Amino acid sequence: MQILIKIYIYFIVFLFSSYAYLFFFQHGMSPVKPLHWQLFTISMTLFIMALRSRNEAVKFSRYLLIWLMLFLSSSIISYIYSPQGDVEKQALIESFRAVLLLFSLFYIFTLDDAVRVSRIALLSVVLLSVPMNLIDFVMPTWSKVSGRAAGLYVNPTISGAMLVLAMVLSIPVVVRNMRVIYCLFVGVGVFITFSRGPWLFWVIAITGLGYIGAFDISRRMRPLIFPALSLLAGALVFAMLTGGAVGFFTMTGLDSYLTPGTLARIGGSGAAFTDYSTTTRADVVAKAWDVLADNPLFGAGLGVDKNWVIGTHNTYLRMASEGGLIRLAIFIGLLVVLWRTTDDVGRVALAVYSASCLTSHNNLQAPAFILVIALIAISNNKAINYSESEQLYVNNR
């Protein structure tokens, strides 16, 4: 039975974090709807819970349980304040589904060896997704945005964000002297998504992993990691603002793979951050702030941004516009609880996740990001089965 549970955990983590469940359904290669995979996960968790005796019951932080109840309560209150139409009802159902899925993943990740199995599954996703992004960039195949790689994720921004998060959470199962190469390998896959947010996430991840000692770098050298990567990030931003990044692609002959939209993202049209994506998101941010200003305490109601042309593209603003400062505080409370309950690797992943919330409004709805939250929550030194040398490193830090 134990081996079957491990196979199930690997399958679920791989399925959700790779977006394979969604890709195959949307392309007619699977009859199973995405929602049904989530219901399957919830049902299997209940089945596993029923099989385990009371003496085997696994407990996780009561603060996480309290947060689940607070979030669900705020969703109900936000729904009451909404027009309560079909859109709002669907948003409420999504909140219930997200809470049930998060609880289910909280539980299965506390099972024996579940964290290690999950990390191996994420490593598999990275090893599959980066080559697929390379293929997608050279021979556009899957991405819905020409000139930008996405692989099975279809959306380049999601592809970049998930690659970085999977990289961080899988780093403990990567051989120590291969970790720098592994991160550079992921960096290539992230770079060709041409998503500026994930570029920043990768810098945050490398900085954090270097600071906690994930690489073979002496303690004396660790304080230099942040300024060095900050200079790298600054140089990248400068190159985009001035259009200098275009010269690199022209020099290497890679400019033939770029589209006008991609060139605009790296300053090819005169200045970066003036492309359609940036300007439309700025408009939505302004709209969300107006909604919050009019309804600071309770917001405008659940699902308010679903009636806009595009969503807020920002989880913090989505929480605030839906449920005011109360719902925003509840979400930030989750980040605080996660920071207090996780280990060093989990904190680096949490930093990346928190940053990704600035560029996406689906970080509490998409199963892949819910999975990341659950793994961060359960990721602690007691739950990870480190190798003997890795455990010695942890104990001596």
Which has more pLDDT, 98 or 238? 98
pLDDT at 392 over 90: no
Tell whether the torsion through CA atoms of 172, 174, 178 and 179 is positive or negative. negative
pLDDT score of 241 more than 70: no
Within 10 angstroms of residue 354's Cβ, the number of other Cβ atoms is 17
* Whole-number Å distance between alpha carbons of 102 and 373: 8
- Considering only residues 380 and 370, tell me which one the structure prediction assigns the higher pLDDT: 370
The share of the chain scoring above pLDDT 70, in percent, equals 82
Specify the range with the lowest mean pLDDT, choosing from 22-31, 59-68, 137-146: 59-68
CA distance 85 to 342: 39
When pLDDT is averaged across residues 309-327 and rounded to a whole number, the result is 86
Residue 264 confidence (pLDDT) above 60 = yes
Q: What is the pLDDT of residue 337?
A: 93
- Tell me the average pLDDT across 85-101: 93
**How high is the pLDDT of residue 107?**
92
Q: What percent of the chain has a predicted confidence (pLDDT) above 90?
A: 54
Question: How many CB atoms are located within 10 Å of the residue 234 CB?
Answer: 10
Question: Is the model's pTM score more than 0.75?
Answer: yes
- What was the pLDDT predicted at 142? 93
Task: Pick the range with the lowest mean pLDDT from 117-121, 135-139, 261-265, 352-356.
Answer: 261-265
> How deeply is 166 buried, as exposed, middle or buried, from its count of CB atoms within 10 A (0-12, 13-18, 19+)?
buried
Please, which pLDDT band fits residue 81 given cuts at 50, 70 and 90? Answer: confident
Residue 272 three-state SS:
coil
Task: Note the pLDDT of residue 235.
Answer: 74
| pLDDT number for residue 369 | 97
3-state secondary structure of 165: helix
Q: What is the pLDDT of residue 170?
A: 97
Q: Tell me what percent of the chain is helix, strand and coil, each rounded to the nearest 5.
A: 75, 0, 25
Q: Tokens for 225, please give them.
A: 């990691």
**In the predicted model, what is the mean pLDDT of residues 182-198?**
92
In this prediction, residue 265 carries a pLDDT of 67
Predicted pLDDT at 59: 62
- Span 39-50, average pLDDT: 93
Query: What is the average per-residue pLDDT within 161-183?
Result: 95
Identify each DSSP E strand in the chain by its residue range. Answer: none
User: Which of 52-61, 88-97, 295-304, 376-385 is the most confident on average?
Assistant: 88-97
How much is the pLDDT for 223?
73
Residue scoring higher pLDDT (272 or 229): 229
Task: Check whether 242 has a pLDDT greater than 90.
Answer: no
pLDDT at 381: 41
pLDDT at 391: 43
Q: Give the C-alpha distances (Å, rounded to integers) separating 89 from 44, 193, 295, 326.
A: 26, 34, 20, 20
Residue written as token pair 């909404």: 82
The 10 Å Cβ neighbour count of residue 61 is: 17
Which helix (H) or strand (E) segment holds residue 293: the answer is helix 276-294
More confident residue, 81 or 271: 81
* Max Cα-Cα span within the chain: 66
Task: Residue 303: name the closest of 89, 154, 158, 98 by CA.
Answer: 89
Q: What is the residue-averaged pLDDT of the chain?
A: 85
Q: What is the pLDDT of residue 279?
A: 62
Euclidean distance between CA atoms 156 and 133, whole angstroms: 9
